[in-house]
Structure 1
Amino acid sequence: MSPTSQPVEPQRNVTALPRVLIIDDDRALCSSLERLLRLEGYEVALAHTAPDGLERAITEPYDLLVLDVMLPGGDGRVLLKKLRTTSEVPVIMLTARGDEKDRIHGLEAGADDYLPKPFHVRELLARMRSVLKRRMATPASPQLVKLGDLEIDPGPRLVRRDGEDITLTGTEFEILLLLVKSFGRVVTRDEIAEACLGRTIGAFDRSVDNHISNLRRKLGATWQDKERIQSLRGSGYIYTAGDSA
């Protein structure tokens, strides 16, 4: 594997408190979140513009980013796309009024989850814990998974298609691994949400569907004339591009 095939991130001390960067121009909200998160045992850094936020995110080690869509000096989604060229740090994106387009574009840019404003801080904390738990979890005996043109290595969380590295967000990786391990079986949206988002979803919550769309785009919709991830209306999703044997 080429040394530049995967994003290179600043190294973190794994024994340190979780370090969070909040990028939002609402200074009152940032101050409130900083105070509450510190009480919950997080180290918190703040940035109020897109350029400052991107520089901090690239040059300093963080365990999680909380990123607003609308920022002075740039769009949060554009910032995230730039960040994803060098970093796989988990990102929760904040969107105004639960705008569906903002959510879709945020997930396409590489967000792991999103939260519409206004929100309750306990909801944000729950999302943060869920993302960090998934990120830090390492299988006791990670086994290399091969199916069709894909090779998935759960330990370093790497995905290759025909030997080429594919960059996925943490959430996308978890969803793909779940579907591949459930090869040939329908996995419901609720199952995916609980296992990979760490929460339940409502009937109109399209977050799982948006992540699936990203996976299809990154991995290719088909393999050997087989639809990679089939959608069964009212049921869920099923991975069929491969040989169960």
Structure 2
Amino acid sequence: MPDDAAHILVVDDDRRIRELLKRYLGDNGFRVTVAGTAEEARARLAGLAFDLLVLDVMMPGETGLELTAALRGKSDVPILLLTARAETEHRIEGLEQGADDYLPKPFEPRELLLRINTILRRTRKEEVEAAEIFFGDCQFDTKSGRLWRGEKPVHLTEREAQLMQLFIDRIGDTLTRDDLRDGENGGSERAIDVQINRLRRKIEHDPRNPLYLQTVRGIGYIFKPD
């Protein structure tokens, strides 16, 4: 499992569902931690950072709705509620407490996977839309197209700034050389490779072993900030 895989916390008092989702989501590329109660979930949240919570509404003790409301007072971690209550008022209550989405029980695991991916794409886009992106000792301003390493500005050509923005717009996605072309006359594949190598010399400590702008053999390139 890659270290940058999204980390999901599944909270459900039904052990069978917890284990099913842990196995299914793990098989689909996610890191998964489970908890059986809101109290266990709070303990997990105190020690780990999560990209999304899958949270059952009807739990003994503190309910999923109560935990959602409490978390929203201090965290914007995405929350997907699992609820056996299909009535509209109950769904609305969950959204009013700050949940990002809900899924009535019983559900197909594949639908849960689709909803999780939708939420993560949206939140990733919101993070990308922030004015500044940090990776290593570099800082890139998406509004001005300017790059710094530490406190020193690094000159980027217009094309290099354009490439940075393309990668930042699709963080974590593999971009083909066609994706990276500058319009219809964007040059040959070799030209793209040369441009990438020049950009690497400005953002990587070791351009021959890049950490951030990595090659996906036979396909293209992927940008992986910290």
Q: What number of residue pairs does the alignment pair up?
A: 132
Show structure 2 runs of 5+ residues with no match: 132-141, 144-226
Show structure 1 runs of 5+ residues with no match: 1-13, 144-153, 156-245
Is structure 2 residue 62 aligned with structure 1 residue 96?
Answer: no
Q: 1:99, CA displacement in angstroms?
A: 2.6
Q: 1:51, CA displacement in angstroms?
A: 1.4
Equivalent residue for 2:149? none
Is structure 2 residue 120 aligned with structure 1 residue 132?
Answer: yes
The normalised TM-score by structure 1 is: 0.50
Give deviations 1:30-64, integer Å, cap 9, x for gaps.
10111111110100000111111133234420000
Q: In 2, are the aligned partners of 1:90 and 1:111 still within 8 Å (CA)?
A: yes
Equivalent residue for 1:57? 45
SS at match of 1:82: helix
Q: 1:139, CA displacement in angstroms?
A: 8.1
- CA spacing shift, 1:99–1:59, aligned 2, 3 Å: farther
Is structure 2 residue 103 aligned with structure 1 residue 115?
Answer: yes
- CA spacing shift, 1:117–1:137, aligned 2, 3 Å: same
- Which amino acid is the alignment partner of residue 127 of structure 1? R
Spell out the pairing of 1:70-219 with structure 2 (5 A cutoff).
70-138=58-126
- CA spacing shift, 1:45–1:103, aligned 2, 3 Å: same
Q: In 2, are the aligned partners of 1:17 and 1:41 still within 8 Å (CA)?
A: yes
Q: In 2, are the aligned partners of 1:99 and 1:116 still within 8 Å (CA)?
A: no
Counterpart Cα distance in 2 of 1:15 and 1:73:
34
Counterpart Cα distance in 2 of 1:141 and 1:131:
15
SS at match of 2:5: coil
The normalised TM-score by structure 2 is: 0.54
Q: In 2, are the aligned partners of 1:97 and 1:118 still within 8 Å (CA)?
A: no
Equivalent residue for 1:165? none
- CA spacing shift, 1:101–1:142, aligned 2, 3 Å: same
- CA spacing shift, 1:58–1:81, aligned 2, 3 Å: farther
Higher gyration radius (CA): 2
SS at match of 1:94: strand
SS at match of 1:107: helix
**Root-mean-square deviation (Å):** 2.4
Q: 1:141, CA displacement in angstroms?
A: 6.8
Larger RCO of the pair (alpha carbons < 8 Å, separation 6+) = 1
